[in-house]
Amino acid sequence: MKFFFKKPLEKLIKGLTGNLSIILFLLLWELFSRLGLINSNFIAAPSAILASIYELYKTGELFVHILISLQRASLGFLFAGLIGIPLGFILGGWFQTIESIFFPVLRFLGQFNPFSLFPIFIALFGIDELSKVVMIFWVSIWPVVFNTITGFKEVDPLIVKAARTMGLKKFQLFKKIFFPSALPYIFTGLKMSAGSSFFMLIAAEMIGASKGLGWLVLNAQTNYMIPRLFAATVLICILGLILNKTLKLIERRVINWKAAA
């Protein structure tokens, strides 16, 4: 019986120890709020934030806002991955003419502040769902593209040369050498992109939206509902962390599978 409880208990202790600073921060935040050392008119206490999340859950609003935000962020992120990875491969050195023409342009575009482009996005795509997805896509694609390019460029040329002397054709080189070597860089880009997608989600949903966590932030700010504002922000952070953890899990499994193969 002791052995049965030993491993779960060890995992619990390890988890608490690893997140000790966060637990301590939340406890101090709650304590200072209750003692009046933090002005609750501007910064809501953790207990008030949890109460606001529970209120949204009771009214049924919580899942409506989460689902619509997830849909927007996921679409922008998905298209960024589907376009960014092949584009990074094309510009990673295999098509040197295309790289020399387009890479400087993409590097230039990647430096644009996305917030300054809002009027252009709205003029081109309106204020409906498409413009929100495009905004998220815009900030999400650059980490994927540039990390994929780096991944392909970092492949050891001696390995490539040895593979070519063994008779490997271009597609085989891509499949057996370039793609597996670039995978850690690609996943780094995807994780950065996931963070960017939820960062932009707040701004995108503040324009012409009536649902979503970003809209909830704006609505709470307008109506001076501080606990709800913090609740929406916390939920966005949690969703971003969940996506990041999911990508880490997929990365671990894919890279281990490639190594075993």
* H runs (alpha helix) in the chain: 2-18, 20-34, 46-59, 61-89, 96-110, 118-125, 129-153, 157-165, 170-173, 179-204, 213-222, 226-260
Predicted local distance difference test score (pLDDT) of residue 138:
92
Structure tokens at 159: 């390995």
Residue 1: per-residue pLDDT? 47
Q: With 90 as the cut, is the pLDDT of residue 50 above it?
A: yes
pLDDT of residue 60: 87
What percent of the chain shows pLDDT beyond 70? 90
CA angle 150, 156, 162 (to 5 degrees): 140
Q: What is the pLDDT of residue 7?
A: 59
Coil vs helix vs strand at 181: helix
Domains and CATH numbers, the chain: 46-108+125-260 (1.10.3720.10)
178-188: average pLDDT: 87
The pTM of the full predicted model, rounded to 2 decimals, is 0.78
What was the pLDDT predicted at 143? 92
Per residue in 120-160, pLDDT (tens digit) is: 888 888 888 888 889 899 999 999 999 999 888 888 778 87
How sure is the predictor about 16, in pLDDT bands with cuts at 50, 70 and 90? Answer: low
Provide CB contacts within 8 A for 192, sequence distance 6+.
Answer: 143, 144, 147
The predicted pLDDT at position 257 comes to 56
Provide the mean pLDDT of the chain. 83
* Distance from the Cα of residue 140 to its chain's centroid: 8
Give the confidence band of 31 by pLDDT, cuts at 50, 70, 90: very high
pLDDT at 248 over 70: yes
Q: What was the pLDDT predicted at 204? A: 83
Residue 54: predicted pLDDT: 93
